Structure 1
C-alpha cells in the first residue's frame, strides 16, 4: 500500500512537471492538494509516509474526526477545505483549516470574518466562481465577483485567488482560461482549478492549486462515495 501510494504520488508530480513546461512554469509553483474526503486514516497514512503534506477535505465534521490524530503523528500537514461551507460551521472551519476554497456568498463572508476576528486568526480563502452558470453548483455569479471580493477584503479576509469546478463532460480548457482572466482582471494571482481528470490542462492554463483525489487514492468503493 505504501509503495502504491508513493508510485501514484510520483506519477502525478511528474505529470504536473510535464504540464508546466509549455508555459515555462516551475513545478514548485503548483500546490498538489491530495483530496482525502471519504478516505479513512489508514488510506491517508501511506501518502503521508511518502512525504506528502497537503490534503483537502469536503466536510468540516469529517475532517475533525480524522485529522487531529494524523496531524499529531505527521507534523507539517496543511489542510484545505475544498467543499461547500455552511455559515454555522465557519468557526470550526477557521479553527481547523489552513485554507478555504469555497467562499461564494455574502452570508459566508460575514460568518468567516466574524469567526476569524474571534479566533484572532486570518485564513486565506479562494472565492469560488460558478464558471459554468450551473444552478446546482455553488459559487458566486461572475457579475457578483467584484463586489464579493471587495466585501471580503473589507472584512479583513485574505483572498488567495479564485476557484472553480467546470461543468462535467465538457472540455474544461475554456472555463480554466476564463477563470484565469477573471483572476487577472481582479488583481488575483492564484487559481484553484483542476481535478484528477483535468489537472494537467488546468496547470497548462495557470492553475496554482490542483485538487486531486482519484489519481492518488484510486477509485472509491461504492460505500465510500
Structure 2
C-alpha cells in the first residue's frame, strides 16, 4: 500500500476509536514519526496533509528540519541529552521527553538565550520498565512543582509509553493512569494553566490510547509499512 493509502486507513481507525469513546476526531492529532525515512518521504507526509512530524534523534532530525521546517509542526519525542539541547530548543515546537531537572535547567538556559518559551510534555514512566525513561509517578507531583521555577518552560501535558505486549488491559491501565495523573495535577492547580495534552499511543496501541484520552498519538511503522 502507498503512504497515502496507509494514512487514509489510519484515519479510519482513528475515527472508529473516537466514535467508540464518544470523542471528536479533531481532539486527536497524529504525529508522523519519521525517524526511519528520509527528507523526500517526510516531505510527502507533509504534502499529504499530516501537519505534525516527530523525530527522536537529533543528528537524523536536523537535516530534515533544515529542509522542511517551514512546512510543519516539529516534535522532539526521544530521550534528550542535555548536551543536545542547544540543537533542539528554538527549532522543535514541542519536546515530549522532559524527565529530569537537569534537562529542565538546560532547556531553560537555552530558551533564555533565545528569548523564547518551550512547550514541553513531562514524560512519566507509568509502566515502571527500566528500559523506559520518565519520571516515577510517585515523584511526579514534586517534579511538577519544581518545574515551575523555569518560566521559559510551558508544560502542556504528559507523555508515556505502554509496554509492548498483547495484554490490552495492561496497556489500557497505563494510558488510563496517565490521564488520571494529568487530572490530579490540574485539580491541585500546580501550574498557572491546566495542562490539557496527553501524548500516548503508538502504531501498535493507538486506538486504546484514543479511548483513554490521548490528544497526540505518535505513529511510525503503521504509516510507512509497504
TM-score scaled by structure 2? 0.90
Partner of 1:223: none
CA distance in 1 between counterparts of 2:14 and 2:119 reads 24
Aligned counterpart, 2:135: 140
Pick from 131, 155, 159: which aligns with 2:126?
131
Cα contact 1:125–1:159 (8 A) shared by 2: yes
CA apart distance, 1:196: 0.4
The offset of 1:45, in angstroms, is 2.5
Could you tell me which residue of structure 2 aligns to residue 210 of structure 1?
217
Deviation, structure 1 residue 49 = 2.1
Q: Paired residue for 2:183?
A: 184
Instruction: Write out per-residue CA displacement over residues 46-66 of structure 1, whole angstroms, 9 at most, x where no aligned residue.
Output: 222212221100012211122
The CA distance in 1 between the partners of 2:86 and 2:78, in whole Å, is 16
Once the two structures are TM-superposed, the CA of residue 218 in structure 1 deviates from its matched residue by 1.4
2:36 maps to 38
Matches within 5 A, 1:1-225: 4-71=2-69, 75-156=70-151, 157-169=153-165, 170-171=167-168, 172-187=171-186, 188-218=195-225
Secondary structure of the structure 1 residue equivalent to 2:6: helix
Q: Tell me whether 19-28 or 94-103 shows the greater mean CA deviation.
A: 19-28
Question: Aligned pair in 2 of structure 1 residues 16, 174: CA closer, same or farther (>3 Å)?
Answer: same
**Deviations 1:182-210 (CA, angstroms, capped at 9, x unpaired):** 11101132100000000011001100000
Q: Distance in 2 between matches of 1:137 and 1:81?
A: 16
- The whole-number CA distance in structure 2 between the counterparts of 1:70 and 1:189 is 28
The two structures, once aligned, show a CA RMSD in angstroms of 1.4
Q: How many residues align?
A: 214
Following TM superposition, the consecutive aligned residue runs of length 4 or more in structure 1 with deviations greater than 2 angstroms are none
How far 1:135 sits from its partner (Å)?
1.6
Q: Which runs of 5+ in 1 are unaligned?
A: 220-225
Q: Is the 8 A contact 1:64 1:96 kept in 2?
A: no
- TM-score, normalised relative to structure 1: 0.90
1:33: Cα distance to partner? Answer: 0.1
Alignment check: 8 A CA contact 2:39 2:67 kept:
no
Say if 2:32 and 2:223, in contact at 8 Å, map to a contact too. yes
Please give the secondary structure, in 2, of the residue aligned with 1:96.
coil
CA shift for structure 1 position 136: 2.1
Conserved? CA contact 1:43–1:217, under 8 Å:
no
